[in-house]
Amino acid sequence: MASYAGLNSADPLSGLSENEAAARRARGEGNNVKFETSRSYKQIIQQNVFTFLNNVLFAIGLVLVALGLYGDALLSVGIVLLNVVVGVIQEARAKRKLDQIALLTRPRAAAIRDGAEKIIDPSEIVMGDILVVRAGDQIVVDGKVVGDGRMDVDESLLTGESDLITKRAGDEVFSGSYCVNGSAMYEAQKVGAESFANQLTVSARAFRQVKTPLQTDIDFVIRVLILLVAQMGILLIVSTLVDQIPISESARAAAVIAGLVPNGLFFMIAVAYAMGALRMAGQGALIQQSNAVESMSNVNVLCLDKTGTLTANRINLFELFPIDVTEQVFRRLIGDFAASIRTSNRTNDAISEATKGKKREIVEEVSFSSARKWSAIAFNEEDMRGVYVLGAPEMLQSQLQADVDLGVRGDEWTGNGYRVLLFAYRPEVTPLYDASEQPQLPENLIPLGLISFSDELRPEAEKTLKAFSDAGIRLKIISGDNPHTVAALAKQAGLANEIKAISGPELAEMSEAEFEQAAEDATIFGRITPQQKEQLVRSLRKRGAYVAMIGDGVNDVLSLKQAHIGIAMQSGSQATRGVADIVLMNDSFAALPPAFLEGQRILNGMQDIMRLFLTRVASMALLIVSVSVIGLGIPFTPRHVSLISLFTVGIPTFALAAWSRPGMVNRGLVRSVIHFVLPAAVTLALVALGVYVVYFLVTLRGIIPGPINTVQDAIDLEALMGMPVSEAVLAAQSYATDIAQTVVTILVTLCGLLLIPFVEPPTPAWAGGDVFSGDWRPTIMMLVLSAGLVAILIVPDLRSLFELSPLRLLDYVIIVLVAGVWAISLRYIWRARLFDRFLNLDKLGIS
């Protein structure tokens, strides 16, 4: 524990004692907050179990139970419960792992206890604690500034305004804001539920939660299907009332219709996100937004701040170049300046390390700001009197004395990738703040010399940049340094020599249209302010780019919130980590190419899953409507739907999600649906309709050879069936329906299994609906599931469980032959693009 002497205050504040803090906590004056790092277990269960569609199926299940149809109720709800259990387990595993990692990035607070500064968890803060805040720190409770410190605060998460607000003694500060420049102490006055702290993380992330294209597509598909099912449900209700259908039959039909909505899609995307987050945790990336990994696959522009991302944040003083003073004097002055500054940074630390200066009493100070690009201190000692300024040469140039020549040394350093700063002074002590409390740069500055710094490239920088370039992702390197310095470093990292660089002052002179064009054309952006970073990201998005932004400093918060995906370094400021979707745990953006590939994996897997789900839904909906129109009832029972769902989407989709691979992503959902789903669903519905009608009529005619036109026909039927004619006809129709339903259920299940090799073709012969993949695992799974289907058909108890009637061997042969012919015909339709050409997709430009 370091002894605390205040922020250069003449009257240091000692804070509370540990005993007093404990007493206040016992009185209920503690900051009893719980920082949520992910969804709670309760939320996971609620969001998996109590969805709208699940609730509908649960209600139907209760009706079936009330009617005594326990088996139908179990199987109608059973698949949903299976999905829920697996989903909850998968997400709970991911939550445990991510929570363990997230502990490393939760905000911390510096409190003064017993006269010494102590790092504590925000939950340990009590009313009256004196807290220390420095640049980049998060203000975790509400309070009032005390002492003689000064800081610039970003309250954008609370107000939406990005302007910095200067805080001095007596000013209020609020949790949810961040210290950007300077340092100060504040007294905790509102803690626990009275402050914003409980909502900080949630509000910061909810502020920029963006649905991915995949989520938007799935939402659209689900809404369309809900409308379709709602229409069919209304027709069922009307039919029940008009035709006086028994409640039990209506409930069974309602279960079939409700089962058409692919509620498993929401479940599968949650599982895919959880699995992706878990994989990325092993790569050193903490996923704070569940959809961030999948979102990475959409990125085509990556913006990164040079410092801390391209370079290793290890800045070393390279060389001093005195101007009109000796090197000894220059070294002493810059050393004392660095030793005296209240709010240090890495550049200042590098100067202090190399010069070993003496700490002096200061009159006034302006901390470094990424927007101003300079810092200043006023001294009033005999051997160091005046205002001393350290900043970017181009930012100080206008305030230098007339006819000052800085020479060419600075340009030479810049061209070789060194960062260059100018140290200048004014002999008189002048105010550093104007009447409105805004920093002002003194006039008539006299240059003392130039300082160069070397930035060490990260070892993985070249390989990582190449990986993104090879993936077709355009890079935009944004920095507060000179653009030529940044360009030189970028070339060292492997970027092409012909890269366009532009500076912040140049951008400031441009119109909005010119700015947007420059954002599109340039690769290197130097001397950029935080507001310009945000504008660059906004301009790129406006031009249709899907933008990821990497940053580590509090000056990156605005641009991270503006990007589709915000990525922060673990060692970065609390502000940056708070709004980021992804935190790189080892400060290495080498974890990003795997994240991009993981996003492709999720997207490819979900597209395969969507094809299976939508083919099942569309084919069954078409078949149900068609059979109902011709007056033959509903072609499935709830148990049949459960069997079809289990074998064609329930089990396969889990495997496809686990086995999905990265690779080029087909982003055209509409074309994908039309090319794969429409031919498969329409042809399967037509084939199944034909088989259903044929089996119904043939079976019925086998019992009732012909129409009952005479009394003798009725007598013969009564003798054959052993019951009255009316009951005999109903029994015959019921039996024919059972046989037709059984045949169609087996056929649809088998055809659904045959679709699995088509979504992941193991050989070129299977390619048609999708490109050749060479992965045999889905095909092997299809064979195993087919064996499982055969087992159900052979074992009487299993067959009865799913309400399947026993069939002749010939019937099974016919089903297999029909399924085989359908699969071969479907492959031809896909390859010949018959539906695509019929619908003129190319001319319509549907992607």
Q: Which residue has the higher pLDDT, 349 or 436?
A: 349
Higher pLDDT among residues 40 and 583, named by residue: 583
Tokens found for residue 420: 């260059």
The number of beta carbons lying within 10 Å of the beta carbon of residue 798 is 14
Please state the rounded mean pLDDT for residues 492-517: 88
| pLDDT at 496 exceeding the cut of 80 | no
Specify the pLDDT at position 202: 44
Please report the pLDDT score of residue 720 as a whole number: 63
pLDDT bracket for residue 226 (50, 70, 90): confident
What band does 207 get if pLDDT is binned at 50, 70 and 90?
Answer: very low
Q: Please identify which residue in the block is written with the tokens 């649906």.
A: 673
> Does residue 664 have a pLDDT over 70?
no
* Poorest-pLDDT segment among 8-12, 32-36, 93-97, 837-841: 8-12
Backbone angles phi, psi at 360, to 5 degrees: -120, 160
Give 82 or 783, the one with higher predicted confidence.
783
Paired sense of beta strands 384-391 and 374-381, if any: antiparallel
Most trustworthy range by pLDDT among 190-204, 573-587, 799-813: 799-813
DSSP symbols for 710-754: SHHHHHHHHHHHTS-HHHHHHHHHHHHHHHHHHHHHHHHHHHHHH
Residue 507 has pLDDT above 70, yes or no: yes
pLDDT at 510 over 80: yes
Q: How many CB atoms lie within 10 A of CB 167?
A: 24
In which residue are the tokens 């399924």 written?
819
The stretch 758-781 carries a mean pLDDT of: 91
Q: Across residues 809-821, what is the average pLDDT?
A: 97
731 pLDDT above the threshold of 70? yes
What value does the mean pLDDT of the chain take? Answer: 82
How much of the chain exceeds pLDDT 70, in percent?
Answer: 83
What local confidence, expressed as pLDDT, does residue 728 receive?
A: 67
Q: How confident is the model at residue 1 (pLDDT cuts 50, 70, 90)?
A: very low
Tell which residue, 108, 117, 109, 143, has the closest CA to residue 16: 117
Give 674 or 532, the one with higher predicted confidence: 532
Q: pLDDT confidence of 8, banded at 50, 70, 90?
A: very low
Give me the pLDDT at residue 509, please. 93
Element spanning 192, H or E: none
Q: Tell whether the model's pLDDT for residue 774 goes beyond 60.
A: yes
CA-to-CA distance for 369 and 812, rounded, in angstroms? 78
Range ranked top by mean pLDDT from 53-62, 654-663, 838-847: 654-663
Instruction: Catalogue all structural domains in the chain, each as residue range(s) with its CATH number.
Output: 18-30+107-206 (2.70.150.10), 261-274+597-844 (1.20.1110.10), 286-310+458-592 (3.40.50.1000), 315-455 (3.40.1110.10)
pLDDT of residue 205: 45
Identify the pLDDT of residue 104.
57
State mean pLDDT over 241-260.
Answer: 72
- Measured CA to CA, the distance from residue 686 to residue 659 in angstroms comes to 32
Q: Read off the pLDDT of each residue in 689-717 and give the average, rounded to a whole number.
A: 75
- In sequence order, what DSSP letters do the residues of 545-587 get, joined into one string? --EEEEE-SGGGHHHHHHSSEEEEETTS-HHHHHH-SEEETTS
- Which range scores top for mean pLDDT: 43-47, 64-68, 105-109, 398-402? 398-402
**Between 249 and 381, where is the model more confident?**
381
When mean pLDDT is compared over 191-195, 257-261, 310-314, 358-362, the highest value belongs to 358-362
Separation between Cα atoms, residue 110 and residue 572, nearest integer Å: 17
Between 36 and 16, name the one with better pLDDT. 16
The mean per-residue pLDDT over the stretch 748-757 comes to 97
Q: Between 399 and 238, where is the model more confident?
A: 399
pLDDT digits (tens, 9 = 90+) for 148-203: 888 888 776 565 555 678 888 999 998 878 887 788 999 999 887 777 645 544 44
Is 692's pLDDT higher than 60? yes
Please report the pLDDT score of residue 800 as a whole number: 92
